[in-house]
């Protein structure tokens, strides 16, 4: 009964079904229609009341979706690498790109910018050295002197010299590109036959990008370029998971974590001044889950200090790295309890349930994240297998940051129609859509992930109201204060109304 009281609509549905089926030989079509309507109203956006202009756009969108669903090569059923061009050239994607999507709440620092920008812009800058590792990856460094050799890497080559000797640099540039993204034109199932293989290449790609992005002048430009790419995709706000690495200068000197966070703050302010309809960005400080308990305790101390010193930009804390291989949250329980013990606010945004290792310690991360009072859950892919965690997440409004393409590329799901978030969205579980590491997956901004969620999860029944609710969720479940959220929502609403008007008529 308690469950029925908490879920009034579900209770109504049960009662309705009971009366409807009692003693009837042939079900009444009107009552059938009532049940269909009831279910439709329970989905994400199902209660949204649309204006006349929105209804017009909804009708157009519905037609587009019917056509998309009738295709033999239905993109959400395919691997994103194969589907990307089909998605990109279709009318739904075109509309989604123009749509104000609100905030991107789950994006990582080293994968927010198109790899082509790194290759064509950054690796063509002076003093850029490259070496080849013995496991077929590459590393970079900028240096005013010839850099010291890295273990397990070839001698350094100055790219400027190497390119000067070549008549055509296309092959070299393609090799560099291929090492910094998982995206490939070959058959992704062949190139990445298992989770181990794809995660290994994923980690190598981050290491390849590392030496480029952690060079101070590039670091600033990279972040500004990242904000530009999200802004261009009609995102108005960003919560970036950032490792806050040591940043280096050409002479080899380095800057500490506070400098890195302050630089994020300065560049964000600059970007917002240049683009007044961009609302801003906040940082979720992240650390590898591969460290031991005492290192984690020191990092949490540092996170508390950063939160105190930079309250505007610093949103909270999270652990990153492959959940299946790293240490579970429970292992870090003492370090992660430090803020509460000290009476210090440090909101958590834990990755949890990005796994199919059902029943293991790693699989308990979802419950542990909630026990540790997480503000949102990164991925939550395993949530359907945890009814208690699911109920807690719903009751407390702890939204899931669903990243469809990431889950597919990293081999948790094949056909997007079978993604757990499809079921969660059918009952309006609190979710936001995000892109995790768009550059690694050959995506950008949020539009590709919105496409997969809208067409793949929602099917024909999810309509403009769902998109509107997803966009509003991204502000409602952000780390912004309620006052800031109100302001952001008002800004978003203005852009939304303009978008609807321009595309409905």
233 binds Zn ion per the rule CB under 5 A: no
Query: For Zn ion, which residue of 221, 233, 239, 436 counts as binding (CB under 5 A)?
Result: 436
How far, in Å, CA of 192 to CA of 297, rounded?
Answer: 36
Find the shortest distance in angstroms from Cβ 107 to Zn ion.
8
**Alpha-carbon gap, residue 457 to 426, rounded angstroms:** 9
- Strand partners of residue 88: none
Closer to Zn ion by Cβ: residue 289 or 476: 289
> Are 421 and 383 a contacting pair, CB within 8 Å?
no
Distance separating alpha carbons of residues 384 and 426, to the nearest angstrom: 13
Q: Which is nearer to Zn ion, 100 or 378 (CB)?
A: 378
3-state secondary structure 154-215: CCCEEHHHHHHCCCCCHHHHHHHHHHCCCCCCCCHHHHCCCHHHHHHHHHHHHHHHHHHHCE
List the one residue out of 376, 370, 389 whose CA is nearest residue 430: 376
Q: Is 46 exposed, middle or buried (0-12, 13-18, 19+ CB in 10 A)?
A: buried
In whole angstroms, what is the distance from residue 206 CA to residue 211 CA? 9
Nearer to Zn ion, 436 or 452 (CB): 436
Neighbours of 61 (CB within 10 A): 21
Query: Beta partners for 350?
Result: 377
Q: How far is the CB of 309 from Zn ion (least distance, A)?
A: 25
Report the site for Zn ion in 7-66 (rule: CB under 5 A): none
Determine the size of the site formed for Zn ion (CB under 5 A).
Answer: 1
Closest to Zn ion by CB, 114 vs 436, is 436
Q: Is the Cβ–Cβ distance between 255 and 216 less than 8 Å? A: yes
Q: Is 354 an annotated catalytic residue?
A: yes
Which residue, judged by CB position, is nearest to Zn ion in the bound state? 436
Q: Which lies closer to Zn ion via its Cβ, residue 65 or residue 289?
A: 289
Rounded to whole angstroms, the Cα distance separating 409 from 302 reads: 33
Q: How far is the CB of 285 from Zn ion (least distance, A)?
A: 14
In the complex, minimum distance from the CB of residue 432 to Zn ion, in angstroms, rounded to a whole number = 13
323 touching Zn ion, by CB under 5 A: no
Which of 379, 386, 419, 429 is catalytic? The answer is 379
Nearest approach, Cβ of residue 473 and Zn ion (Å): 18
Give the number of other CB atoms < 10 A from CB of residue 396: 13
* Interaction mask 167-196, Zn ion, x per CB under 5 A: ------------------------------
Looking at beta carbons only, is 368 or 436 nearer to Zn ion? 436
Cβ atoms within 10 Å, residue 217: 13
- Nearer to Zn ion by Cβ, of 44 and 406: the residue is 406
Site string for Zn ion, 393-432 (x = CB under 5 A): ----------------------------------------
Burial of 56 per CB tally in 10 Å (0-12, 13-18, 19+)? middle
Look up 68 and say whether it is catalytic.
no
Q: Give backbone dihedrals phi and psi of 31, rounded to 5 degrees, phi first.
A: -70, -35
Of 68, 239, 354, 452, which one is the catalytic site residue? 354
Paired residues of 286 in beta bridges: 318
Least distance to Zn ion from the beta carbon of 401, Å? 8
How far is Cα 93 from Cα 426, in angstroms, rounded to an integer? Answer: 22
User: Which region among 9-17, 311-319, 367-375, 436-444 touches Zn ion (by CB under 5 A)?
Assistant: 436-444
- The minimum distance between CB 228 and Zn ion, in angstroms, equals 21
Binding positions for Zn ion, rule: CB under 5 A: 436
Catalytic residues: 354, 379
């Amino acid at each position: 009964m308690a469950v029925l009281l908490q879920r009034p609509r579900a209770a109504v549905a049960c009662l309705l079904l009971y009366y409807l089926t009692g003693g009837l030989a042939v079900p009444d079509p009107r009552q059938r229609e009532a049940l269909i309507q009831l279910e439709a109203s329970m989905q994400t956006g199902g209660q949204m009341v649309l204006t006349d202009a929105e209804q017009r756009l909804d009708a157009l969108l519905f037609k587009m979706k019917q056509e998309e669903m009738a295709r033999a090569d239905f993109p959400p059923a395919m691997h994103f690498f194969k589907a990307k061009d089909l998605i990109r050239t279709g009318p739904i994607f075109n509309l989604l790109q123009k749509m104000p999507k609100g905030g991107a709440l789950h994006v990582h620092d080293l994968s927010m910018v198109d790899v082509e920008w790194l290759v064509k812009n950054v690796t063509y800058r002076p003093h850029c050295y490259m070496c080849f590792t013995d496991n077929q990856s590459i590393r970079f460094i900028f240096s005013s002197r010839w850099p010291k050799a890295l273990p397990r890497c070839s001698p350094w080559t100055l790219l400027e010299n190497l390119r000067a000797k070549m008549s055509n640099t296309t092959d070299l540039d393609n090799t560099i590109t291929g090492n910094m993204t998982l995206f490939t034109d070959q058959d992704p199932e062949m190139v990445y036959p298992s989770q181990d293989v794809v995660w290994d290449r994923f980690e190598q790609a981050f290491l390849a990008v590392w030496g480029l992005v952690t060079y101070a002048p590039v670091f600033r430009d990279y972040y500004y370029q990242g904000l530009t790419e999200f802004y261009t995709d009609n995102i108005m706000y960003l919560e970036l998971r950032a490792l806050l690495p040591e940043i280096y200068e050409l002479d080899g000197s380095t800057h500490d974590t506070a400098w890195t966070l302050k630089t994020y703050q300065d560049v964000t302010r600059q970007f917002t001044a240049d683009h007044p309809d961009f609302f801003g960005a906040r940082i979720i400080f992240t650390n590898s889950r591969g460290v031991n308990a005492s290192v984690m305790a020191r990092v949490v101390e540092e996170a508390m200090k950063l939160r105190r010193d930079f309250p505007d930009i610093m949103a909270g804390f999270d652990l990153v790295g492959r959940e299946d291989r790293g240490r579970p949250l429970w292992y870090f329980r003492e370090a992660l309890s430090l803020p509460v013990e000290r009476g210090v606010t440090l909101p958590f945004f834990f990755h949890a349930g990005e796994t199919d290792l059902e029943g293991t310690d790693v699989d308990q991360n979802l419950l542990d994240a909630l026990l540790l009072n997480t503000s949102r859950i990164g991925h939550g892919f395993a949530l359907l297998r945890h009814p208690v965690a699911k109920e807690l997440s719903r009751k407390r409004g702890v939204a899931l940051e669903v990243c469809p393409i990431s889950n597919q590329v990293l081999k948790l799901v094949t056909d997007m129609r079978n993604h757990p978030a499809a079921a969660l969205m059918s009952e309006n579980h609190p979710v936001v859509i995000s892109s995790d590491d768009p550059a690694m997956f050959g995506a950008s901004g949020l539009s590709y992930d919105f496409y997969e969620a809208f067409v793949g999860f929602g099917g024909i029944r999810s309509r403009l109201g769902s998109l509107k609710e997803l966009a509003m969720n991204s502000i409602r479940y952000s780390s912004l204060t309620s006052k800031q959220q109100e302001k952001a929502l008002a800004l978003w609403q203005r852009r939304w109304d303009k978008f609807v008007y321009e595309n409905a008529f």
